[in-house]
Amino acid sequence: MRVKVYPVKSLEGTISAPPSKSYTHRALFIALLTNSESKILNMLHSADTKASMHAIKAFGGTIKDTIIKGVEKPIEPNNIINCGDSGTTIRFAASVASLVNGLTILTGSKSLRRRPMKPLEHALKQLGAHVFSRNGNPPLVILGGNIKSQEIEINGSVSSQFISGLLIISPIIGLTIHVTEKIVSRPYIDMTIQTMEAFGVKVKEENSTFIVEKQQYKPTIFTVPGDYSSAAFLMAAASLLGHVKILNLKQDDVQADKAFINILKEMGAKVIVGSNYVEIEKASLEGIEVNCSNTPDIVPVLSVLGAYARGKTIIKGIAHLRFKESDRIKTVSKNLKLMGAHVEEGPDYIKIYGNRKLRGAILNSFGDHRIAMAFIIAALAAGSPSIIKGVESIVDSYPLFIDHIKSLGGNIEVV
């Protein structure tokens, strides 16, 4: 799917942030491991979360509207589980598969089959599962049901999703997880722990070790909060082009990308934060230097802002972005250069020399939803129209994104 994006002078209005994709994944998999029915309110229905719903059903859970009925023990799937583009789904499902008395086969899209799994594969083998992969990448074949160890080690420098998946199954086993290397995207682990606690499970942490005694998840009513990761695109659009109020954003949330608010303030954006909303008004932005090791999802749109800001923007600590739906350091750099920006990339950083009026261009999303959304924002502020290819990937996280942008005054048409 290709869209043509026309530059606009302003974006104005009020939008409710979509439900959090990250919380939805976590609540679904935890609800699977309860022994009764839970209610998950305000779930996100996107391609990625639907992949998790498919996995839940394959493991024996049932989903009807907001009700998820868990199982005493996950069952052997009767078919291959296709996780689509969702790295979270395959990593959480792989952990659950270690509990299954039988065989689980996990695969996904071409993009997903490039995602690294080796640290999780190694951890699951320590538990006692037999795991076979394509040299550390999906597809995965997991023979579980024979837990031999209650203490494991895992490298935390590749993806926090590995640790979150292990934490989710930990109360079923009674598990101690020793994390080696520096943990990237740490707030996502906090989100996992907070969701586990909402389902009645306690987690202890000592230094870089997580200790979870054997416990039973309790069925509950869980309300998914608004998604700061998706809202970041609306905030960025407003800071370049207008005045937008975004509802359904809790200020006491542990979501990593809530940090985008302070980044925008540091760049000079006009930001008002309320009890359940964020309001952004167009301002002249200044380049900054920022470490995004904990906030990888905002890097594409932050890079776009850097291209429109005065001075230099350096985004560092982002080596793990090379293993997302696309190599986001490379794909961001390529698209910004096509639009006329001066960009330098390194192994774990991107450097953007801003204060430019970007030109329209023919751009590629590279099958990556966050690249597609970031460059729709870039194109709206450019000097001439742009064509963006592959925007169907937006359904992975924010299916209503184009509709929401158009409701604020964006001019986007399918071509």
How many angstroms separate the CA atoms of 106 and 310, rounded?
46
How many angstroms separate the CA atoms of 162 and 38, rounded?
25
How many angstroms separate the CA atoms of 294 and 199, rounded?
25
Is the Cα dihedral 7, 301, 92, 250 positive or negative? negative
How many angstroms separate the CA atoms of 272 and 214, rounded?
44
Tens digit of pLDDT at every position of the chain (415 positions): 999 999 999 999 999 999 999 999 999 999 999 999 999 999 999 999 999 999 999 999 999 999 999 998 999 999 999 999 999 999 999 999 999 999 999 999 999 999 999 999 999 999 999 999 999 999 999 999 999 999 999 999 999 999 999 999 999 999 999 999 999 999 999 999 999 999 999 999 999 999 999 999 999 999 999 999 999 999 999 999 999 999 999 999 999 999 999 999 999 999 999 989 999 999 999 999 999 999 999 999 999 999 999 999 999 999 999 999 999 999 999 999 999 999 999 999 999 999 888 999 999 999 999 999 999 999 999 999 999 999 999 999 999 999 999 999 999 999 9
Give me the residue spans of the domains in the chain.
2-18+226-414, 21-223
Q: What's the DSSP call for residue 144?
A: -
Candidates 36, 52, 54; CA nearest to 217 is: 36
Burial (CB count within 10 angstroms: exposed 0-12, middle 13-18, buried 19+), residue 9:
exposed
- Contact assessment for residue 167 and residue 192, using Cβ atoms and an 8 Å cutoff: yes
How many angstroms separate the CA atoms of 108 and 113, rounded?
6
Strand 62-64 and strand 67-69: pairing? Answer: antiparallel
Classified by CATH at the fold level, domain 21-223 comes out as UDP-n-acetylglucosamine1-carboxyvinyl-transferase; Chain (3.65.10)
How many angstroms separate the CA atoms of 357 and 371, rounded?
19
Radius of gyration of the chain (CA): 21
Known catalytic residues?
297
pLDDT the model gives residue 72: 83
pLDDT the model gives residue 273: 97
How many angstroms separate the CA atoms of 278 and 267, rounded?
16
Is the Cα dihedral 64, 230, 314, 322 positive or negative? positive
52, 66, 136, 377 from 27: Cα distances, Å: 10, 11, 27, 31
How many angstroms separate the CA atoms of 126 and 147, rounded?
9
How many angstroms separate the CA atoms of 162 and 176, rounded?
14
pLDDT the model gives residue 355: 80
pLDDT the model gives residue 356: 80
Q: Which CATH architecture has domain 2-18+226-414?
A: Alpha-beta prism (3.65)
> Do 2-18+226-414 and 21-223 have matching folds?
yes
- Contact assessment for residue 398 and residue 233, using Cβ atoms and an 8 Å cutoff: yes
pLDDT the model gives residue 74: 98
Model confidence, pTM = 0.96
DSSP lists the bridge partners of residue 132 as 141
How many angstroms separate the CA atoms of 159 and 178, rounded?
15
